[in-house]
Amino acid sequence: AQTVTQSQPEMSVQEAETVTLSCTYDTSESNYYLFWYKQPPSRQMILVIRQEAYKQQNATENRFSVNFQKAAKSFSLKISDSQLGDTAMYFCAFMGRNDYKLSFGAGTTVTVRA
């Protein structure tokens, strides 16, 4: 299984501010996919953003964007203009090109303060 590391157990951010979550991974594959999922207290896992490793352009979804550094095996998530509804656990995940199995990091709890 691939190793996914999230080194920040908890992050706190003021409403309307920006927060960046870090993620690193270990793989010998050249083609793969990376994801950020959000899990609010309701426990529903929600896909936030997806990145294909062969695309150099960083993915963006509204207020969410990533900084994908393939050589460094780094995949950080930036949440801009943080909202109270962004409070959740955020998981970074890796999927190999051909096996469709997700490997998750330990998660980062994000709390947005009013």
Partner 1 sequence: SAVISQKPSRDICQRGTSLTIQCQVDSQVTMMFWYRQQPGQSLTLIATANQGSEATYESGFVIDKFPISRPNLTFSTLTVSNMSPEDSSIYLCSVETSGRADTQYFGPGTRLTVL
The residues pairing with 103 across neighbouring beta strands, listed in sequence order, are: 94
Binder of partner 1 out of 12, 16, 18, 47 (CB under 8 A): 47
Q: Is 91 in the site for partner 1 (CB under 8 A)?
A: yes
Q: Is 43 in the site for partner 1 (CB under 8 A)?
A: yes
In angstroms, the CA 22 to CA 100 distance is 23
Give the tokens for residue 59. 């993915």
| Minimal distance, residue 18 CB to partner 1, in Å | 25
Asked if residue 15 lies in contact with residue 113, where contact means CB atoms within 8 angstroms, the answer is yes
For residue 84, the one-letter residue type is L
Residue placing its CB nearer to partner 1 in the complex, 36 or 86: 36
Binder of partner 1 out of 42, 56, 57, 62 (CB under 8 A): 42
Q: Is 113 in the site for partner 1 (CB under 8 A)?
A: no
Q: Is 101 in the site for partner 1 (CB under 8 A)?
A: yes
In angstroms, the CA 91 to CA 21 distance is 10
